[in-house]
Amino acid sequence: MISLIDLKRQYKSISQEIIESVKEVFESGKYILGPKVTEFEKKCAEYLNVKHAIGVGNGTDALVIALESLGIGKGDEVITTPFTFFATAEAIVRVGAKPVFVDIEPLSYNIDPEKIEEKISEKTKAIIPVHIFGQVCDMKKIVQIAKKYNLYIIEDACQAFGAEFEGKKAGTIGDVGCFSFFPTKNLGGFGDGGLIVTDSDEIAERARMLRQHGSKKKYFNEMIGFNSRLDEVQAAILLVKLKYIDNWNKRRIEIAQKFSTELKLDGLVTPKKSNNYEFGHIYHLYVLQHEKRELIMEYLAQKGIATGIYYPVPLHLTKALSFLGYKEGDFEVAERLCKKSFAIPMFPELTDEEIEYITTSINQFGGSL
């Protein structure tokens, strides 16, 4: 069976480095906000070319803390996409604000910047663009809109570590960027982990306080915060992996190019790269569209090829967010893509033979009808 992602292969390639790095943590006796976290934050800030990088417990906490660091809360509105993982909207609701959805572009799956302005109200405080599947949103237009209406931008770059837009890394273009180090991410740990990045000293100070019970100094709490710190062991693992992220992303791009060139099935829509930057799309997932999605997925399962659906339900139609009052038909593009899009295997360790087998199998599907 070819998995959607095979984490064991990546571990085997760097296992000795991982073991040595984690061993240093065990032997140090420093397990919370220790030297590995400090070093990882420094290396991330350098890699992303940003002033501050703050490690937190996970990507969801990164979004929540970013919102709170900007003072966004009850009575505020935050514009975002309905085609994303639940955490994006969950974080907005968690701080007491209201998610306001905007439909997506049919080929990039990203929020449609042409539809943002019509959703801005006096209550709007921020925009959360999500760089879905590893492709950066049209940040040039989004930044222009944010400046025009004096709005914050919080980039949900949880799927896009290492992606670029106009010479800047994803997560560093807006006021704050948020990342997840969930194991399946392009840069993933061996458990949960997250990161907040910003060039603002004030936002960074608030984020650092919020991640540790609202305090700068232990026992001297200045605000109600969280217990959300990047684990020292995860930092040790991520430090090793950070050295390889560009090579891994390049391999993902190479695999995506092979897929896009070789897939010939009638009616199949392959991912569209919306800019020409080398890392404009780093393919966290390789997502296809087809009207006969279920039949293709069943056929590939018989061939020993795993597939997945990201996402089966747009956020505005989830039970948890029904209180927002949205209904079916409100965001036609997102709803349509939830019914016809599916992912095929994508991870750097895929072999050329496996790539050929996957593309050949998909192309042969037409002959099975």
Query: For residue range 3-21, what is the model confidence (pLDDT) as tens digits?
Result: 999 999 999 999 999 999 9
On the question of pLDDT at 369 being above 60, the answer is: no
The dihedral through the CA atoms of 53, 50, 97, 319 has a sign that is negative
Domain range list for the chain: 7-102+112-239, 245-364
Least confident span in 85-99, 227-241, 261-275, 300-314: 261-275
Tell me, what's the pLDDT at 180? 98
Neighbours of 325 (CB within 10 A): 8
Contact between residue 42 and residue 239 where contact means Cβ atoms under 8 Å apart? no
* Alpha-carbon separation of residue 280 from 114, 165, 228, 325 (angstroms): 20, 6, 30, 35
Residue 305, helix vs strand vs coil = strand
**What's the average model confidence in pLDDT over 217-245?**
97
**Which pair of structure tokens corresponds to residue 280?**
């404009």
Tokens 């449609």, residue located: 112
**What's the pLDDT tens digit per position in 147-162?**
999 999 999 999 999 9
- pLDDT > 70: what percent of the chain? 99
Asked whether the domain spanning 245-364 has the same topology as the one spanning 7-102+112-239, the reply is: no
**CATH homologous superfamily for the domain 245-364:** Aspartate Aminotransferase, domain 1 (3.90.1150.10)
Average pLDDT, the chain: 97
CATH of the domain spanning 7-102+112-239: 3.40.640.10
Cβ-based burial of 363 (10 A; exposed 0-12, middle 13-18, buried ≥19)? middle
**What's the average model confidence in pLDDT over 198-216?**
97
From 36, 125, 185, 241, the catalytic residue? 185
**What's the pLDDT tens digit per position in 24-51?**
999 999 999 999 999 999 999 999 999 9
Name which of 60, 109, 61 is nearest 82 in CA terms.
109
Residue 36 appears among annotated catalytic residues:
no
Neighbours of 301 (CB within 10 A): 12
Tell me, what's the pLDDT at 278? 81
Q: How far apart are the first and last CA of the chain?
A: 23
Contact between residue 110 and residue 135 where contact means Cβ atoms under 8 Å apart? yes
Contact between residue 367 and residue 137 where contact means Cβ atoms under 8 Å apart? no
On the question of pLDDT at 368 being above 90, the answer is: no
Tell me, what's the pLDDT at 274? 73
Predicted confidence band of residue 367 (pLDDT cuts 50, 70, 90): low
- Tell me the H-state helices in the chain: 7-28, 35-48, 59-69, 87-94, 139-149, 201-211, 232-242, 245-262, 293-302, 332-340, 352-364
- pLDDT > 90: what percent of the chain? 96
